[in-house]
Structure 1
């Protein structure tokens, strides 16, 4: 039974979260390993952001309940101030790259992401983003491109993975492309159900779902995105739990 979820959770631009379940348990023994891994990325969020929230909150944050705290260094290979591509690549693979690149090292060589490792080990994977799925942060777990702005090439990279569910904006990068390719048809040929709004996502009974709910970047929550994040997250978890 393969199960790995990757979904985002609210914050500034996009997030991802990954959850994974082992394909099988060791017979006769309780598996002492980690059952689920959930990665939440608040794009642009750092220690100062968390501390500001702690200082202004009327009640303790869930952050304060964590038994372990760690830091990951995400500055890029060519600059102290990182960007979403370099930081996303560091989070996804543990490798540094230049600002503007995703899923490659500073010399342009593809790097191995935790999502790819999960798929290699028979786990189901998913990505949910409050951004376009081709945005640098979520795409760092999927694509290998020297330019984070190569949205059409990033979209093609989704066809090179076995990700089970991905939800976010970016429909036009798959369907209304300058090269006239229709990646929506290609996704369907690979067994994906295509959903273009939240109602279609909520009704999906497919084990493979491509939810592309906006032509490009979704609006901010206060400007019309609504409950895209919680409803998409719930549906992705439900779909992945079948696998």
Structure 2
């Protein structure tokens, strides 16, 4: 992590370095499976302002490239936030070669986007990053979830994700004057990572929780055969 200063450019580069490190860990196992009850139950958004999801196909066990693309939030999904890194989708494991080489070629798809709000300073700015990894088996997803380092070892664990997904972990830690909150979540064959970076005042657990719920809901909608429709209401 780059040292935080009052200069907006360095603040943004610090976030970019964190995001790149996350993408370098992409990788999963191989196989197929049937649709899960959890995915089939995802028939509506969690926000009252969200439109009703549109059926796009049958419920699925594993997200494909087009579905990962639909899950990853864009500017329309995060009103009031600046989309500083538009959704980018990867079809292979090229970004994880040299890190987890044995499983990189078995990755189905991964996607990421990031947003900012407030002035670009350590005191006033806040960034939210969304990452989605789709694996072909639950075993592969479990292995990837375990390998995904969200600073849980040296951070403070947060009990704010309830019973979301099959596995979950939220952590808080500081780096210089920056506050970093992370949540990783596994839902079947899909692994989600949400990062909130800002000051003690702007990087709040409420924002992390709402961002995690948003990505989780959109994932379940896609697995249920719907076009993700949940819109963020993150203040």
| TM-score (structure 1 length as normaliser) | 0.27
Structure with higher helix content = 1
Structure with higher strand content = 2
Larger relative contact order (Cα-Cα within 8 Å, sequence gap ≥ 6): 2
- Bigger-Rg structure (1/2): 1
| TM-score (structure 2 length as normaliser) | 0.28
